[in-house]
């Protein structure tokens, strides 16, 4: 129960890594503002079952990451609960695989808006709430693509590199007021995002890992759990690679 009585905001909760983070945090006693783009009966039922099973509170929050007004409305909804915000996990994002010369300006703007700008704006609002208690843990989901500079991932990787740089700068600015900021950089992980990669590319990437397998969403969730908990109370400004020992091969 590493997060007993803690309150966390997690974006992109309805599938993949985000859903695994949500479940892992709840299993460890956290109350959650579960953020998704749009409601669904399946998602709502899952949240209700999870809350009942682990005796925690889960509040669904819906907004489009590309809509600034919806982000502000979501923050007002969170504020209305009058509960302290202890943890923020910026997980929501999109992937994009294309050669540099084939990447359009519109696609570049979309990737950066969702993967970088929106999470930064949302974090600015959430940090204001954390400042009230002078404590908090912000976890940004980056990617090994933002470190290694893989071919075919120039735009996506650049958006994640921006997240990594922001993580380090935010940690330097917010540390003295008790807010820690770290990033997790997943390697190849079994989520719907893999559908953008061919089986050949997936297999080649797997062979470039020391463990010779894809990561599972729970592998990323456990890293986030550690960073969110007091066990990482002296860690900030760090980028934790969870990639099975992936070797950069360009």
**Residue 230 confidence (pLDDT):** 96
pLDDT confidence of residue 249: 47
Q: Which CATH number fits domain 7-242: 3.40.50.720, 1.10.3330.10, 3.90.1150.10, 1.10.580.10?
A: 3.40.50.720
Tell me if 69 sits within 8 A of 95, measured CB to CB. Answer: no
| Secondary structure element (H or E) that encloses residue 239, with its range | strand 239-242
Assign 106 a pLDDT band (cuts: 50, 70, 90). very high
Of the candidates 112, 213, 107, 114, which has an alpha carbon nearest to the alpha carbon of residue 157? 112
pLDDT at 244 over 70: yes
pLDDT greater at residue 193 or residue 231: 231
Q: Where are the domains of the chain?
A: 7-242
188-65-233-129 Cα dihedral, nearest 10 degrees? 180
Q: Are 219 and 242 in contact (CB under 8 A)?
A: yes
| Number of neighbouring beta carbons within 10 Å of residue 238 | 15
Tens digits of per-residue pLDDT, 46-65?
Answer: 999 999 999 999 999 999 98
Structure tokens at 190: 């079994």
pLDDT digits (tens, 9 = 90+) for 175-195: 999 999 999 999 888 777 666
pLDDT of residue 65: 87
Rounded Cα–Cα distance for residues 183 and 186 (Å): 10
Look at residue 175 in the predicted model and tell me its pLDDT. Answer: 98
Residues 7, 29: Cα–Cα separation, whole Å: 9
Report pLDDT for 196: 66
Query: What's the confidence (pLDDT) of residue 248?
Result: 61
The predicted structure's pLDDT at residue 250? 43
What is the pLDDT averaged over residues 155-171? 97
pLDDT at residue 198 is higher than 80:
no
Smallest Cα–Cα separation from 67: which of 13, 108, 142, 121?
121
| Of 66, 61, 73, nearest in space to 14 by CA | 61
Phi, psi angles (nearest 5°) of residue 118: -65, -40
Tell me the residue length of the chain: 250
Phi-psi region of 82 (alpha: psi -120 to 50; beta: other; left: phi over 0): left
Rounded to the nearest 10 degrees, how much is the dihedral formed by the CA atoms of 71, 96, 192, 238?
-70
Give me the mean pLDDT over the 154-175 stretch: 97
Token pair, residue 95, equals 């992937």
**Helix, strand, coil distribution of the chain in percent, nearest 5:** 50, 15, 35
pLDDT at 24: 98
Average pLDDT over residues 208-222: 90
Question: What's the whole-number average pLDDT of the chain?
Answer: 93
71 pLDDT higher than 70:
yes
| pTM of the shown model | 0.93
Residues labelled as active-site residues: 156
């Amino acid at each position: 129960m590493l997060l007993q009585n803690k309150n966390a905001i997690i974006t992109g909760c309805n599938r993949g890594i985000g859903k695994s983070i949500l479940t892992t945090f709840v299993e460890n006693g956290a109350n959650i503002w579960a953020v998704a783009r749009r409601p669904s009966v399946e998602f709502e039922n899952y949240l209700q079952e999870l809350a009942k099973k682990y005796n925690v509170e889960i509040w669904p929050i819906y907004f489009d990451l590309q809509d600034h007004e919806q982000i502000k409305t979501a923050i007002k909804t969170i504020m209305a609960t009058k509960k302290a915000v202890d943890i923020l996990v910026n997980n929501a994002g999109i992937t994009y695989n294309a050669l540099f010369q084939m990447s359009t300006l519109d696609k570049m703007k979309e990737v950066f808006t969702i993967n970088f700008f929106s999470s930064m704006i949302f974090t600015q609002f959430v940090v204001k709430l954390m400042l009230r208690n002078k404590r908090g843990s912000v976890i940004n989901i980056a990617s090994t693509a933002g470190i290694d500079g893989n071919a075919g991932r120039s735009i996506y990787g650049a958006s994640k590199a921006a997240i990594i740089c922001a993580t380090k700068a935010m940690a330097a600015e917010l540390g003295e007021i008790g807010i820690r900021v770290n990033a997790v950089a997943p390697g190849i992980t079994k989520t719907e995002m893999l559908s953008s990669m061919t089986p050949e590319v997936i297999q080649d990437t797997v062979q470039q890992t020391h463990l010779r397998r894809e990561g599972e969403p729970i592998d990323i969730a456990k890293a986030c759990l550690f960073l969110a908990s007091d066990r990482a109370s002296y860690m900030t400004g760090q980028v934790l690679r969870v990639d099975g020992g992936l070797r950069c091969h360009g």
